[in-house]
Homo-oligomer: A and B are copies of this chain.
């Protein structure tokens, strides 16, 4: 199908991110199950609840456009989630796996930040002010979730994993 108008591009992109959010709802419980650090588990649990809200916001936007909410296979996010599954299967519960989970979850957040940023710009250019507000709410939640994960990564989740190795690397330097 040829995409000839910004409206068409916007709807196609909404379908892409609708698939992404639905995939994330399915994937997050797997991450929560293998995460060791309570702070990380809590952050992922709270983001799972938020993500269910993001799905609903997208449904409201589809409704406003007179379109049925429909997912279109989102290859980008699927690739990122495949990488995450590999991290889980190659790892063992503990601080190193937690570090890998955080990195995977931040790739997911960043994918969404990019997608919602474009959607918000287009909704504004198409004059769909209600959608702009809904997309902005989700975008801000994705940014906050990413920031929270950076805090967890830099404040100690990785410390246990890095402690012995850092000393070793410095000694060999």
Contact = CB atoms under 8 A, between A and B. Distances in A.
Interface string A64-99: 000000000011111110110001001110011101
Given A83-B76, A127-B166, A166-B126, A161 B6 contact: yes
B96 A4 contact: yes
A12 to B, nearest CB: 8
Interface residues of A, number: 61
A83 B92 contact: no
Interface of A: 1-9, 13, 16, 74-80, 82-83, 87, 90-92, 95-97, 99-100, 102-103, 106-107, 109-111, 113-115, 117-118, 121-122, 125-128, 146, 150, 153-154, 158-159, 161-162, 165-167, 169-170, 173
24 contacts: A2-B92, A3-B96, A3-B100, A5-B165, A6-B99, A6-B162, A9-B96, A74-B83, A79-B79, A79-B80, A80-B111, A103-B115, A103-B118, A106-B117, A106-B118, A110-B113, A114-B146, A117-B150, A121-B153, A125-B158, A126-B165, A126-B169, A127-B169, A127-B173
Given A106-B117, A118-B153, 8 more contacts: A3-B90, A3-B91, A5-B161, A9-B161, A76-B83, A79-B79, A110-B114, A126-B162
